[in-house]
Structure 1
Amino acid sequence: MAEKEPHLNGSYPGPSIPPPNQEDKHKSRGCFCCLFGCLWKTIVALILIIVLAIFICWLILQPRMFKVHITDAKLTQFNFTNNNNNLQYKLDLNITLRNPNKKMAIYFDKIEANAFYEGQRFDTENLTIWGFKVERKSTHFLNATFAGQQWMELGANELDFNEEKSVGVYSIDLKCYLRIRFRIGDFIGGDHKPKVKCGLKVPLSSNGNLSTARFETTRCDVHLF
């Protein structure tokens, strides 16, 4: 007769699992902190190197924004008829672009000139057909002509028009949108899109006779961004 297996009370003790090694945990955590610290120091060092390189380039090149002046403006027609809200105009402008930089040439790929009166645009002209380059310490001359007629609704601003008509001097704004590139040696920078704004006080000349007012050379505001 086979012997019975002895009855076991309670659970059978299995193989013992050693507790996790706390020293290994500290080592892995220390390695992670060390890696993160090295990565952070590398990023900070790269940022400092880039900032230092930009500062050194700025000291060497000393870049300056180009300057725009309206040297002459001739307004031979500026008539508004309120029965059909029609503005008839003819405006000629002489514009100078000055590159004051000693080490950078400037490519003007696009100049879109917009003429405004009382906040309303009445004409747009493209002043660059093929584009041009202004060399270092050089000045380029442009002519812009706005002529034609445009529907406008002056509304309450018609009082301002009548007042300026009695004086013979009109407040006309010129806003230009450009696309330019900078050249330093053989390197040509990417496209930049500065904006130019000129607030003009233009006297009206009719039948070839100038009014007592004279146009004064006006410096325009140039914003790279």
Structure 2
Amino acid sequence: MKVLVHYEVTNASLTKFDLAAANNTILYYNLTLNLTLENPSTVNYNFDRLEAGLVFKGQNLYDMTNISKPFYLGHETNVTLPVVFTGNHSVALGDQEASDFRKADAFDIAVKIHSEYSTRTGKTFNIKQEVTCTLKVPLNSDGKNAGERFQITKCDVTMLNA
């Protein structure tokens, strides 16, 4: 089945991404991003569920949580949703990984999204997608960027009920 809705992260700001100094096992983070959904088709969609989670080095930092109330996405339109991930989570990093982490200016972070939406074209169709946005996000602390700029990132979409 062809992908019906496209996803991209148009902006991301990572203002905190710190390992606890004592044991390298607690990661504190604050990531804000803009997620844009584009409907290039001539069909309208009603989004019932949109959840997102955060993954770093294959480890879940932020469990799937609802990021939007139900909404309507008209044909040939797009919508941009602000998404905030903040908190702390235990991580398993070796000594070398922790050392490399502390030297890094930008980080590879994945945003996982589950969406459920429907359309009615004579008959109601329910659509489920799993989306992965693999981001390289520069650390922006004290309002200063580490030198790199965030690049708009298209997300990979898998249709779950194809």
TM-score (ref. length: structure 1)? 0.65
* Residues 109 and 128, structure 1, Cα contact 8 Å, conserved in 2: no
Q: Partner residue of 1:72?
A: 11
CA RMSD for the aligned pairs? 1.8
**Closer, same or farther in 2 for the Cα pair 1:188/1:141, shift >3 Å?**
farther
Task: Verify the 8 A CA contact 2:24 2:98 in the aligned structure 1.
Answer: no
Q: Distance in 2 between matches of 1:179 and 1:105?
A: 14
Q: 1:165, CA displacement in angstroms? A: 3.6
Change (3 A) 1:166 1:217: same
Distance in 2, matches of 1:199 and 1:161, equals 21
Distance 1:164 1:154, change over 3 A: closer
Matched, 1:94 2:34: yes
- Cα distance, 1:152 vs structure 2: 1.8
Match of 2:56 in 1: 117
Question: What does 1:141-180 align with in structure 2 at a 5 Å threshold?
Answer: 141-155=80-94, 159-180=96-117
Query: What is the rounded CA distance, in whole Å, between the counterparts of 1:112 and 1:222 in structure 2?
Result: 14
- More helix per residue: 1
Instruction: Give 5+ residue unaligned stretches, structure 1.
Output: 1-62
Q: Higher RCO, 1 or 2 (CA under 8 Å, sep at least 6)?
A: 2
CA distance in 2, matches of 1:128, 1:149: 22
Unaligned runs of 5+ in 2: none
Q: Across the two proteins, how many residue pairs are aligned to each other?
A: 157
- Percent identity between matched residues is 31
Whichever of the two has the greater Rg, that structure is 1
Q: Which runs of 4+ in 1 moved over 4 A?
A: none
